[in-house]
Homo-oligomer: A and B are copies of this chain.
Amino acid sequence: MKPIENNVVGIIGLGLMGGAIAMALRSGGLIPPGGRGRILGCDIDGDTLAAARVDGVIDEGFTSPEPLLGRCDMIFLCLNPATLLEFMEKQMRAFRPGTLITDIAGIKGHIAAAMETTLREDLDFIPGHPMAGSEGGGYGNAKKCDFHGKNYILTPLKRNKGENLEYLKALLYRMGFGRITCTTAEEHDRKIAFTSQLCHVIAAALINCEADREITRFGGGSFEDLTRIAILNVPLWTELFLENRDALLHRITQFEESLEKIKGLIAEEQKEELQETLRTVRNRRAAMG
């Protein structure tokens, strides 16, 4: 791969994450405006493309991917999981030979499986998941999506070229991410069901059992912290919950059992055992940093 500043990078989908990635490439000075490198954006919404051009975040905008794909050295696919596989199937012939492709989907199992078998031999697809986000969604919220010090998960395929993997990792660190973890797609989906999807389900369940809008008068920070993520991108999270259904259901059940245990200690006023549990919890969470 050429140095990033000389590359033509395509961003497919200029939503929250696509917009934030373009911004990190541009404002981080990785692909400066007027240099040899280019940032090409593709989105079905012409207004988004116009806004991104005015912001100087992309050099050119396209409402369909065909004219863009043949020009790119590297592609960030910033689409919802289901759309992504349709896109790859439909556009498989349009990519330039040797293109390094990566995605940002929050579930990886079926994407990794499909790419292992259906990807053109002269392309390289490295599945990825930036652990960053922001309330709301869309290009309009992209500026609020801060990558600095955040986690990034990669679930490399057996066929990925080592040099491309190293190239992508270096690029992600330069974009601001603080820690990159390589793991299998299955492990990713099991862990993410806990750290991300279960947390969103809990936030939704909390909000769904209290209709009083004035309840925030009684908030001291914990309620606000636990439910901020309830302002979610509805189609995206519906898809994530359903696509990672089995792992998520397992984690919900695990959490329900854990909650039931603590509830039991409170109901039976088992002070000693409750204190012991809270001490374990306190130490464990503190050790997580």
Q: Which residues of A contact B (CB under 8 A)?
A: 130-133, 150-151, 153, 179, 181, 188, 191-192, 194-196, 198-211, 213, 215-223, 225-232, 234-235, 237-238, 241-242, 245, 248-249, 252-263, 266-267, 269, 271, 274-275, 277-282, 284-289
Contacts and interface: CB of A to CB of B under 8 A. Distances in A.
Nearest to A289: B216
Contact of A201 (B188, B199, B262, B285): B262
A207 B245 contact: no
The secondary-structure label for the interface of chain A is: helix
Q: How many copies does the complex hold?
A: 2
A203 to B, nearest CB: 7
Nearest to A209: B258
Contacts of A267: 245, 249
Contacts of A188: 218
A235 B179 contact: no
A157 B127 CA distance: 61
B281 A217 contact: no
Contacts of A271: 238, 242
Contact of A274 (B191, B241, B259): B241
Given A194-B223, A218-B191, A267-B245, A278 B234 contact: yes
